[in-house]
Amino acid sequence: MSLTCKEVARLVSEGLDQELPAERQALLRAHLALCRGCDSLRERMGFLRRAMRKVSDRGDRGDD
């Protein structure tokens, strides 16, 4: 079984929130190894998640 790019986008998003089952992780890694577009999406989503955490952390501390 292989994943579509649409399925990969959903799994990448889910994977940022929770650990994916091993089978899904393997399918995702296989797709990302072959699809530069999806791998780029994964990198961008990860970057945005990290940036939002930093902004949120600053707001929690009151650093303006």
Q: What does the pLDDT look like over 16-33, one tens digit per residue? A: 999 999 999 999 999 999
Angle formed by the axes of helices 22-34 and 36-61, nearest 10°: 120
| Residue 5, both tokens | 């790019």
d(CA 6, CA 11): 9
> What is the SS3 assignment for 20-39?
CCHHHHHHHHHHHHHCHHHH
pLDDT of residue 13: 95
pLDDT of residue 56: 85
Q: What is the pTM of this model?
A: 0.78
